[in-house]
Amino acid sequence: MTQVLPHPLLEQLRQICGTANVLTHEDPATDLSPWEQDWRKRVSGRALAVVRPGDTAQVAAVVKACAAHQTPIVPQGGNTGLVVGGIPDNSGQQIVLSMTRMNAVRAIDPANLTLTVEAGCVLQNLQTAAEQAGFLFPLSLGAEGSCTIGGNLGTNAGGTQVLRYGNARELCLGLEVVTAQGEVWHGLSGLRKDNTGYDLRHLMIGSEGTLGIITAATMKLYPQPAAQLTAWAAVPSMEAAVELLGLAHQRLGPGLTGFEVMGQFALSLVDKHFPHLRVPIWQDTPWCVLLENSDSESEQHARGQFEALLETAMAQGWVSDAVVAENLTQAKGLWHIRESITLAQVQEGQNIKHDISIPVSQIANFVKETDALLEREVPGVRLVDFGHLGDGNLHYNVQAPEGSDGKDFVRAFEDKINTLVFDQVKRFNGSISAEHGVGAQKVNKLPHYKDPTAMAMMRAVKQALDPHNIMNPGRVLA
């Protein structure tokens, strides 16, 4: 009987991180599916091992060992991504580098308004640490209870307050990164001005682990607002929603921290699958808008601004009905409805997701034309339109026709529908990925929709920093 020899890399990894932190299929009692299957449970792979380093020195040693063995590395945070960017392939030869043990808040600098945190820190824990120190960390998204800041930076996550504070990129002042050679770049200074050459921080943010592994970051903090009010408004059209957005910019200025749009069918799914959430005023309107006003003066001032804004919008015919949350509990309830659209889609069955951005001035035309195109080309499809209208980001999702099997629908129509939608996005000068990234899901689509010169420059950067292609291969660039 031929003896199967253990992979020569595994013992090295155990020496670096400890046996308990190198998980393999050698032990039949070990379930690696939490690391090998994507959040939507549509794609799974098979890893050589899941390695869980405890500090930056261990990450660097793991990368050096993998580089010596030419073993690809797939960095992973909370595994909440939607574009299959952190899942191993089926070869059984890739290492999943899980960053979740590196979850400490290293330092808070109140005078500099910064917080330095390790990459595996869950976003909600970072928010809580900032709040306990008397500050606001404004990055907020539906998966904040399980996603990690390293993954947020790796994909340049957006969320609900990009309108005021920007994406993860705009919130980051410094990084600590392990390169493809296992060297450590110490860039956590937290400076707001450092004009000494190429900004490597921005190169790493949004690179989805293909250029290096983010191990820590220095993030911006903000003063807590004196008041934060939320309103829910019914609007008769997407054009009216865009007009309301312009008025809100004019009246609220930087106080406008959130502006979400939700289509009637999207809200009907929440009402169907989560009736306890009690979706307000949605049945008799094609669209609803969720607005947030963060005021530095007082709640009374913020409420007065909101009421004046809504009165003007109603007079113009841009709003047909509206409610303003009376307290924080009501406000959280309204946001919970918005954030439950994705979960309601899961309950309804498999669907085709699109995370796109369009110039705000063109969104109404895009939706009108693309809705009609899909309804003509794939009769019976149900369109789940919602997203961050304030920054031009739509989650333009497609649900199977009523009564049909979601899996069969996705298998039969995903490529056709993606092509139809992405062609429309290109025609309207948009992007096929606004905040979710490229991952493996869109890697073959990207060359068709991104400028050829930009693609060539990206390949040159990848070749320079990761010449042996061991850092998350097959993601972003094919």
pLDDT at 6: 63
Q: How many CB atoms are located within 10 Å of the residue 101 CB?
A: 15
pLDDT at 3: 40
First to last CA, the chain: 40
Q: Tell me the chain's radius of gyration from C-alpha atoms.
A: 23
pLDDT at 200: 96
The ranges of the chain annotated as CATH 3.30.70.2190 are 227-342
Task: Find out whether 210 and 458 touch, Cβ atoms under 8 Å.
Answer: no
Helix (H) / strand (E) element for 465: namely helix 452-465
Task: Find out whether 462 and 212 touch, Cβ atoms under 8 Å.
Answer: no
- Architecture of 8-98 per CATH? 2-Layer Sandwich (3.30)
Angstrom distance (rounded) from CA 64 to CA 179: 9
pLDDT at 130: 97
The ranges of the chain annotated as CATH 3.30.43.10 are 8-98
pLDDT at 1: 35
Residues forming beta bridges with residue 220, ordered by sequence position: 114
CA dihedral 389, 387, 424, 205 (to 10 degrees): 90
Please tell me what DSSP assigns to residue 6. Answer: P
Angstrom distance (rounded) from CA 119 to CA 117: 7
Residue-wise pLDDT tens digits, 72-103 = 999 999 999 989 999 999 999 999 999 999 99
The ranges of the chain annotated as CATH 3.30.465.10 are 105-223
Question: Which residues contact residue 463 at a Cβ distance below 8 angstroms, ignoring those fewer than 6 apart?
Answer: none
pLDDT at 30: 87
Three-state secondary-structure class, residue 313: helix
The ranges of the chain annotated as CATH 3.30.70.2740 are 349-427
pLDDT by position in tens, the chain (length 478): 334 446 889 999 999 999 999 999 988 888 999 999 998 888 899 999 999 999 999 999 999 999 999 999 999 999 999 899 999 999 999 999 999 999 999 999 999 999 999 999 999 999 999 999 999 999 998 889 999 999 999 999 998 899 999 999 999 999 999 999 999 999 999 999 999 999 999 999 999 999 999 999 999 999 998 888 999 999 999 999 999 999 999 999 999 999 999 999 999 999 999 999 999 999 999 999 999 998 877 788 888 888 999 999 999 999 999 999 988 899 999 999 999 999 999 999 999 999 999 999 999 999 999 999 999 999 999 999 999 999 999 999 999 999 999 999 999 999 999 999 999 999 999 999 999 999 999 999 999 999 999 999 999 999 999 999 999 999 999 8
pLDDT at 11: 94
Residue-wise pLDDT tens digits, 244-263 = 999 999 999 999 999 999 99
- Architecture of 105-223 per CATH? 2-Layer Sandwich (3.30)
pTM equals 0.92
Angstrom distance (rounded) from CA 128 to CA 117: 12
Return the CATH number of 349-427, one of 3.30.450.40, 3.40.50.1370, 3.30.70.2740, 1.20.1050.10.
3.30.70.2740
Write out the two tokens for 330: 């009501």
Q: What is the DSSP string of 250-303?
A: HHHGGGEEEEEEEEHHHHHHHHHH-GGG---S-TT-SEEEEEEEEESS-HHHHH
Write out the two tokens for 455: 């693609």
CATH number of 227-342: 3.30.70.2190
Angstrom distance (rounded) from CA 225 to CA 104: 26
